[in-house]
Amino acid sequence: MQISGVFGARAQSWVAGQLACGVGERAATLSVVAIATLAIARSTALAQTFPLPPAPAGVEVTRSEGIEFVTINPPAIGTRGYNPIAGPGSDGRTNFGTVPHTQPYRIARTEVTSDTWVDFYNAIGQMPFSDPAFVQASSFFGSGGIISWSGLQDRFFPGPGVRWYLPNPTTDSRVPVMGMNWRFGAIFCNWLHNGRTTNPQHLLSGAYDVSTFGTNPDGTFTDQLTRSPGARFWLPSLDEWLTAAHYDPNRPGPDGTPNQGGWWQFPTSSDTAPVRGLPGTVNALGQPAQSSAGTFIVTPAGSYPLAQSPWGLLDASGNAEEWLESVALPIAVFPQEVPLPGARGRLIDGASISGTSLLGNTDPLLVYIGSAPQNSTSLFGLRIAAAIPGPSTAAVFAAGLAGFACRARRRSLDR
């Protein structure tokens, strides 16, 4: 396939690497780590077209940009058991786990899946590759790294640009996207924030300012530490992720008193580690599988409908390890090492399909890891957080019409 336009060296390397991944076609896509093609999918696709299992009773479910979100609105800190986690966590931090702000937020029920990614990469495929904004953004996509998902290049697309598609939307849409670095995830959030456009400028800001991305000679990074004010979509903080995955406002207290609120050890509303295995299988005790953690097999999103967090999160244990916004604290890997100062990594939570990963143990409450924002492995994915949407223009207009109709009817009755 020919691609027109002039690229920066890193952008050209990245695009070439992704297109090379498509040569293996469908054989590669059905490998153990799911699908080894990076895609830029059809702009006509509708994100998250597959149905998800119902969320727990009382949890508010909404959709934005085709992604299904649940609203996290925990009680005030210090009431009904909503207290900090004593810790220490994997990096030694203590007194964490509660959302520091009082406003509710939303978080996606699943990791980012191929039906959303196909729209993202089709939008990128329509951008002018020589545009300075595109060259700047693409320098952080990853140099030749492989993103695993279910899209294939549309070899018959005449252009301009590049187009990708899902060969079997019914099943391919549910495949989670894995293999990106933190910065690529942040750029994806910018694209969502700006309305999923094909304007390359919309990759550079909105949730995160790409102009801040960089690495110092000492290994510390210069990236914007937290989301921009007014961000509509972002990578969740550790506190936001833990609250959505582990906190239950209706958990019984230690004495059995109902609805006291508290933390579960695992993101499946349980203190018992979820049974690992493929969907529909059982272990030697006849217990059904609840997580793909440690199986080395990517499973379709929502394949374990009974293994949800109290707020309705699916697959928090299994499939991808999820990038978080929070900065990893500097710690010594070995006792004789001295922790290095400065921000060097972002946190990652959620157990993966790998049995050798530190998170391959089904993700207990206090276990998480960190990695430099420019790093990527085949296990890294993301789950998006979002602001509570205000009333849409259509809803306000409809409400106005309803009010007008009521007033008109009252005037008619008064005559």
d(CA 368, CA 216): 25
Distance of CA 172 to the CA centre of its chain: 17
Closest C-alpha to 207, from 183, 231, 188: 231
396 sits in which H/E element = helix 393-414
- SS3 assignment, position 415: coil
Please give the pLDDT value at position 408.
35
Please give the pLDDT value at position 361.
66
How, if at all, do strands 321-327 and 380-381 pair? parallel
pLDDT-based confidence at residue 330 (cuts at 50, 70, 90): confident
pLDDT-based confidence at residue 77 (cuts at 50, 70, 90): confident
d(CA 365, CA 346): 18
**How many angstroms separate the first and last alpha carbons of the chain?**
73
308 sits in which H/E element = none
Residue 101 contacts by C-beta under 8 Å, 6 or more apart in sequence? Answer: none
Please give the pLDDT value at position 331.
59
Residue 314 has pLDDT above 60, yes or no: yes
Percent of the chain at pLDDT above 90?
56
pTM over 0.85: no
